[in-house]
Structure 1
Amino acid sequence: MKPTRSVDRRADRSWSENAVRLIEADGLRSADTHLLRVELPDWSRWTDEAGNARGVDLYLKDESTHPTGSLKHRLARSLFLYAICNGWIGPDTTVIEASSGSTAVSEAYFAKLIGVPFVAVMTASTSPAKTALIERQGGRCHFVQRAGDVYDEAQRLEAELGGHFIDQFTMAERATDWRGNNNIAESIFAQLAQEDHPVPTWIVVGAGTGGTSATLGRYLRYRRHPTWLCVVDPENSVFLPAFESGDGTLTADTGSRIEGIGRPRVEPSFVSQVIDRMVGVPDEASIATARVVSERLGRRIGASTGTNLWAAFGLVAEMVEQRHAGSVVTLLCDSGDRYETTYFDDGWLASNEFDLAPARGVLDAFFDTGAWSV
């Protein structure tokens, strides 16, 4: 009889258990993000036939207050826990990601926390402020020229380095527990509990990986909330055309100019079936909204937040016109300080031939009268 073979890998568990402990401890040190109420003009309030005060409220979930400064901090934590618990990341694993910036910033943070190398594959056009943040966390930036090349290059580096391609675009929708466990959807509803409209009429989000919209859409259905999910899409992204046509094979030759959202292909984590409505937002509208709202808030917000708010303003105006009282919630994805040399630089706008005046006119009319003339 041949001898019995035994391969014992129990020693691998001690490293992974400690890595999970470090990430969980980091989460316990971090408070939840604020839900900010955005003050709307008087036209957002009215009195119904019974003499009751009614109105529409707008909220911003401020994800810029995470330790790494963006919504992607939640995703990065989930992706690392998912990969560690699946045994894909060990003490000597180089973690590789294809990212336009914010996800890589957050992933570099968690890689440093558990002591593994990190490489971010991104387009050369990514803002210098984001690459500096990645490098400050000990990550290495690896550049490609075309947005569509990041996937193949990340896979090539995975093979070359014997690492793990963490692949946010595939894993985002499955790494987060959409039923609860303090995900962003559960957090929003908990924070709205004592508001006039604790169950929002609309939640508005952008799609980069598709993970956030998938989490929110599934949660709304699971909890049976009568809340609609609106997903916004910038120019040069194929999510909206795919949603409209049902064709998940669509691709684009150029990438989105609004960092963090929009993709040149339909990502595996984009679950269109949980979305109730999509709105395409011109890049000039995204940037103009970021600038106008930054002036009103007294703090800079990024252009992806501008994309969210452009659609949210349209929904608020629609609800006011229909005398539909309720609330709208959207996300403040990251700080506009990361885009000082791009979206907030007049020279950069001129070199890219952006004219913000028409979009500013729409926004001025909205704040003055509540009209949405798009």
Structure 2
Amino acid sequence: MVPGGGVPPAVEGGRRIAATETAEVRAPAAEVDAFRRQVDELVSKTDLLEKRVNEVVGFYDGKKHCSGGRKAASSRKDCGHSKGMPDLMRQFGVIVRQITSHEWAEPFLKPVDVVGLQLDDYYKIITKPMDFSTIQNKMEGKDETKYNNVREIYADVRLIFANAMKYNDEQHDVHIMAKSLLEKFEEKWLQLLPKVENEERKQKDEDVNGVPSTKTSPEEAFAKLAKDTDNELIEINKQLEELRQMVVQRCRKMTTDEKRKLGAGLCHLSPDDLNKALEMVAQDNPTFQTTADEVDLDMDAQSETTLWRLKFFVREALERQTNIVSGRTDENAKRKREICNALARTNSKRVKQQP
């Protein structure tokens, strides 16, 4: 059937699968660390996007609670937004004070003492230093330059923490503190963002028409936030897929024993999972026939990418099948206990009723 002393053919769902097997090499540790850092960055982005999603959901949940005739109209001040736009600079100043008053904010309040700390490479790594005292001076107009809008301040606050995380190793206290404060800051920014976008839209309409706009609303701002978040999630999924492909391509070559185990795992897949596994093979090998009654799967003919994709898929599928079987076993045992208890109660009643 297949050359090379392969795994015995498997029969699953009316189809026969045969598998064979090659050698071995490992990816450098530096590449592993690089992949790990990329994964950490994607996880951080995902956490922030999750908070955005919660903000959007919370807004629309709040609107549901605020609907309902006269009672809702009388409490509109509590549930909705009053007319007019608050002073965004002042509100953002409150956010800045909340962040700078945190116990971990000390390293970020003043410019980095490059000379005193003997950080000879600092300006080679950090091209645009930033700190909260500089931001405060610009907000108060003490420097030659002033902020034109809230987004400019937002960018500088993020720059403070981004610089700290870039210069310091992930295990360094300053890196950890910067990451934590950045997450807290992003949470507060997300609460202010719909108002910012609403005001920006008003200003844009005023610039075009010369009159204030009455068509903008918090609903539009949150709708845009939801759309932007969805687009970013799509982009993250794309990056994850690209990263997965890079990782798989750099995997070491499978050993003969691993290929044998993979072939054995394919034998135990359910019909649906087996179809999915064969479709993976066909993605890299368009001439591979997935619908034939008897399928010859030559392991030595498959790319390392396909082999490792199959291994990850088979492992997850078998774990899922085991959990399902275990759940059914537990359910059957529970049902048997219930039947036995019911019979025991019925028998007890009969004994009591006998004269």
Q: With the length of structure 2 as denominator, give the TM-score of the two structures.
A: 0.21
More strand by share: 1
More helix by share: 2
Higher relative contact order (CA 8 A, sep 6+): 2
Q: Which has the larger radius of gyration?
A: 2
